[in-house]
Amino acid sequence: MSSDSAQPGSDVVILDDGVPTAARVYDVMLNGKDNYAIDRQVAEASIEVMPELKEIALHNRAMLHRVVRQLAADEGITQFLDLGSGLPTVRNTHEVAQEVNPDAKVVYVDIDPIVLAHGRALLQDNANTKVVTADIRKPEEVIAHPDVREMIDFSKPVCVMLCGILHHILDEEDPNGIVAKLRDAVPSGSYFFITNFTRLSDSSESEELERVLLSQLGTGRVRTPGELEGFFDGLEILLPGIVPLALWRPDEVVTDATTIGVRFMTGGVAIKR
């Protein structure tokens, strides 16, 4: 994990440009500007293994747009807790939700302090959005964080977003337990939005990518469809189920769903009854 740090009670953020982070590597994949050479090195090594990774990152962001828009517009969800959010760059959760409902509340949570530094500048005039530096491997601390509590009313339905972050939680860090604690913390009527790298039985690239990510970034667990389904235990998965990202209620017809770029990352949305 990064050795970056944010000093408690201070606006001073200390950044370490010699340690890659998942948030900044993802920023590289989205053609962002808020990353360092070490992050680009990890991204480039990953793309060498799987050239479709930038396409996959764009599918992940496009599904985020569809999920947030539909939950805000069709289900009346007004609270979004975006965990492991990465950098709040263009067309992220707050913009999509607040286009539907300007009063929608969004909290971004990430362990990388550059997310806090960037978010403060970007969101300083947005009273309905906060950025919090916290470790989602400690969900009780996330839920209890005063900035989260100030923005999110846990007596009302929340959309808990784990979009492209659980594959950065190692098995020994108990990702299923993390999701279960979050599930128990929110009321009935809440939604969970989860996406994860998915192991392809007909492709060696997924195993090699996992090896590269684990060696260079320290995280990047590619999981089986069954393991991803386990994250939704105790929840009711909405149609069309757990599917390749591009196939989740697409805005346009997907003409070829057989490519690695479409199939490598899957996800779904579920409701807590």
Distance from C-alpha of 16 to C-alpha of 36, rounded to nearest angstrom: 9
Q: Domains of the chain by range and CATH? A: 5-271 (3.40.50.150)
96 closest CA partner among 113, 77, 114:
77
Q: Are 35 and 55 a contacting pair, CB within 8 Å?
A: no
pLDDT tens track, the chain, 273 positions: 444 444 444 444 445 567 888 878 888 888 888 888 998 998 898 888 888 888 988 999 999 999 999 999 999 999 999 999 987 776 899 999 999 999 999 999 999 888 888 888 888 899 999 999 999 999 999 999 999 999 999 999 999 999 999 999 999 999 999 999 999 999 999 999 999 999 987 778 888 888 888 888 888 899 999 999 999 999 999 999 999 999 999 999 999 999 999 999 999 999 999
Q: Are 86 and 28 a contacting pair, CB within 8 Å?
A: no
Q: Are 88 and 80 a contacting pair, CB within 8 Å?
A: no
CB hemisphere CA count around 150 (13 angstroms): 10
3 state SS of 62: helix
